[in-house]
Structure 1
Amino acid sequence: MAPPPRILATDAAVAMIGALRDKHGPLMFHQSGGCCDGSAPMCYPAGEFRVGTQDVLLGQVAGNVPVWIGAAQFDYWRHTQVTIDVVPGRGAGFSLEGPEGVRFVIRSRIFTDEEADALAAAGEPPRGDS
């Protein structure tokens, strides 16, 4: 069995990411483990958030938008498939979608035993540079 993707995005999120990319150019996401808006996926212009060795690459959404997660948060979520979605409302963070009247949120599901085995066999996901 091929390993499942660790990160997905809903159609609505992909559409918003496309609109933001049209306005701001290449994008990236970072998911920290902080409280409040720190627990929401934050969308930045590519390179505006410095990724380090304590960040894990979950994968890419919307074609080529990398999604990073802090290592401590990844340790908690490694058993889940994460999906970025978008809902009406406004967060209080620096994420690019805020002025659009929407906010990105995370939805998740636990990997099946077979999926978890396939991910374990594939090895650890890449980490950022220092």
Structure 2
Amino acid sequence: MFGFGKKAKKPNGIDVLIIKAEEAKNRSFYQVAFPSSVANDVLSMLKKLEKSKLNKQELLGEIGGFRILTHLEALTGFDIHDDADMEAHPVEIQDFANMLLRRLESLEESGKLDDSEDFAFIMGELTMLRDGSFVPQS
């Protein structure tokens, strides 16, 4: 659309997803940053969560009902021009995963979620992202 061509993936770059949260009170969108080397896996897992029955405000809290708007690939840097606005600051994938994981774990412990293959997959992926043990699949 804007003439940006597909460029070779830079494994040492940073990818950013812009995620819109319709019902959020504190933020209307999140910028989630992660290493380009794990981009395919992170994007795949978040798309699966986006389409799942778990993507509801009553389950995920403020982020519930989210939509992935934009995927910025292999950035080598960025500047924040409004330090006072928290939406201007990207959230590290570990923090974003931890936020989602804490919410899902509390729902699971309270018995509000049924175990399913999708739920187990998402919990495993979020745990690896939170702990930094996520290994890119080639």
Q: Which of the five TM-score ranges fits, normalised by the shorter chain?
A: under 0.3
Structure with larger Rg: 2
Q: TM-score, normalization: structure 1?
A: 0.27
Q: TM-score, normalization: structure 2?
A: 0.26
Larger relative helix fraction:
2
